[in-house]
A and B are shown apart, each in its own frame.
Chain A
Amino acid sequence: SAVISQKPSRDICQRGTSLTIQCQVDSQVTMMFWYRQQPGQSLTLIATANQGSEATYESGFVIDKFPISRPNLTFSTLTVSNMSPEDSSIYLCSVLTGDGDTQYFGPGTRLTVL
Chain B
Amino acid sequence: SQQGEEDPQALSIQEGENATMNCSYKTSINNLQWYRQNSGRGLVHLILIRSNEREKHSGRLRVTLDTSKKSSSLLITASRAADTASYFCATKTGAGSYQLTFGKGTKLSVIP
**Interface flag for B78 (CB, 8 Å):** no
Whether a CB of chain B sits under 8 angstroms from the CB of A42 is yes
Kindly state whether residue B64 has any CB partner on chain A within 8 Å: no
Contact with A along B15-30 (1 / 0, CB 8 A): 0000000000000001
Scoring A1, A4, A48, A104 by chain B CB atoms within 10 A of each residue's CB, the highest score goes to: A104
Indicate if the CB atoms of A96 and B40 lie closer than 8 Å: no
Interfacial chain A residues near B50, Cβ < 8 Å? 101
Q: Report A-chain residues with C-beta under 8 Å of the C-beta of B43.
A: 43, 92, 94, 105
Per-position binary interface string of chain A over residues 2-19, scored 1 when its CB falls under 8 Å from any chain B CB and 0 otherwise: 001010000000000000
* Total contacting residues, chain B, CB less than 8 A: 22
Which of A31, A43, A104 gathers most chain B CB within 10 Å?
A: A43
Q: Can you name 8 extra interface pairs (CB under 8 A) apart from A45-B100, A102-B45?
A: A43-B90, A90-B40, A102-B33, A103-B90, A103-B100, A104-B45, A105-B42, A107-B42
**In the complex, per-residue mask of B31-55: 1 if CB is within 8 Å of any chain A CB, else 0:** 1010100001111110010100000
